């Protein structure tokens, strides 16, 4: 027998699986509507689901149970103000017929909690809801303020470090440019080209000495030739 997995629940027949899939889509839609809703609006939605008996599978009933627990945990409502979850096996009560009829009509507005609550409890509920909302807003504002102050301190430190690094980079750049300038304008030998300069100077000296030695040899040869000529004349 084929089994169907819908939202983590296993269903053995196709009809139950289709029904569970529809309820899963309904749950997703309701969760989307409750993202910005406060406790009063969530209670209205819960009561509407209970009155219309919208869910009958494990997915829908599990969602209803979790929703009721969340409402109780807020502390805004007394537990007797939150209707209990209906049983799927029990037939609908006779007094719920008008609610079924209302469910068949287009839903223009949701039923408010104030309409179902006693008139004496209405101011107390609204006062508690406003107080709870105010406390939550104050906590959020304090948290945001603390985070903003920390961020401002971190940004200030980063700016100081950035300024210091910029000064260091410019200083190093000036030093490098100065070294290049000195190396291109000074002609005297440095540690790197000292050996080459000395070698060139030695070669120049050697060439001069060779030229002078050649000149001296030429003069000596001329003198020898002259002496030989004079000796020949005197012999004749």
Would you give per-residue pLDDT tens digits along the chain (236 residues)?
A: 568 888 888 888 889 899 999 999 999 999 998 888 899 999 999 999 999 999 999 999 999 999 999 999 988 998 889 999 988 776 665 544 444 444 433 443 444 444 444 444 555 666 677 777 877 877 776 666 555 566 667 677 777 777 777 877 778 788 778 777 766 665 544 555 556 666 776 677 778 888 888 888 888 888 888 877 766 666 65
Same domain, 15 and 76: yes
One domain, residues 21 and 102:
yes
Given a contact cutoff of 8 angstroms between Cβ atoms, the answer to whether 4 and 11 are in contact is yes
At 208 the pLDDT is 83
Q: Which of 68, 88, 117 is the last residue of a domain?
A: 117
Q: Do 94 and 15 belong to one domain?
A: yes
Asked if 89 and 171 sit in the same domain, the reply is no
Residues 82 and 19 in one domain: yes
Residue 81 sits in the same domain as residue 137: no
Based on the domain organization, do 105 and 127 belong to the same domain? Answer: no
Domain count, the chain: 3
Main-chain phi, psi angles of 69, to 5 degrees: -60, -40
Q: Are residues 69 and 150 in the same domain?
A: no
Domain span holding position 44: 4-117
Residues 25 and 113 placed together within one structural domain of the fold: yes
Contact 71, 77 (CB under 8 A): yes
* 83, 117, 151 - which closes a domain: 117
Q: Which residues have a Cβ under 8 Å from the Cβ of 126 and sit 6 or more positions away?
A: 114
Are 103 and 207 found together in one domain?
no
Boundary residue ending a domain (186, 211, 228): 186
- Residue 53: the pLDDT is 92
β-partners of residue 6 are: 9
In this structure, the answer to whether residues 111 and 77 fall within a common structural domain is: yes
DSSP, res 119: T
Please check whether residues 63 and 97 belong to one and the same domain.
yes
């Amino acid at each position: 027998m084929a089994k169907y997995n819908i939202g983590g629940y296993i269903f053995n027949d196709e009809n139950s699986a289709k029904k569970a899939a529809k309820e899963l889509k309904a749950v997703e839609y309701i969760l989307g509507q409750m993202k910005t809703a406060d406790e009063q609006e969530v209670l209205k939605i819960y009561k509407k689901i209970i009155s219309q008996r919208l869910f009958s599978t494990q997915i829908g009933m599990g969602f209803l149970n979790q929703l009721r627990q969340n409402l109780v945990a807020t502390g805004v409502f007394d537990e007797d103000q939150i209707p209990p979850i209906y049983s799927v096996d029990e037939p609908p009560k006779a007094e719920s017929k008008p609610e079924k009829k209302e469910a068949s009509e287009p839903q223009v507005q949701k039923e408010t909690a104030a309409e179902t609550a006693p008139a004496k409890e209405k101011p107390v509920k609204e006062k508690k809801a406003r107080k709870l909302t105010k406390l939550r807003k104050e906590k959020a504002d304090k948290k945001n303020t603390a985070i903003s102050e920390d961020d401002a301190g971190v940004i200030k430190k980063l700016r100081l470090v950035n300024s210091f690094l910029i000064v260091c980079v410019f200083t190093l750049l000036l030093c490098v440019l100065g070294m290049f300038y000195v190396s291109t304008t000074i002609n005297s030998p440095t540690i790197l080209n000292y050996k080459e300069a000395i070698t060139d100077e030695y070669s120049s000296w050697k060439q001069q000495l060779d030229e002078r030695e050649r000149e001296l040899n030429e003069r000596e040869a001329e003198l020898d030739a002259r002496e030989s000529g004079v000796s020949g004349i005197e012999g004749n």
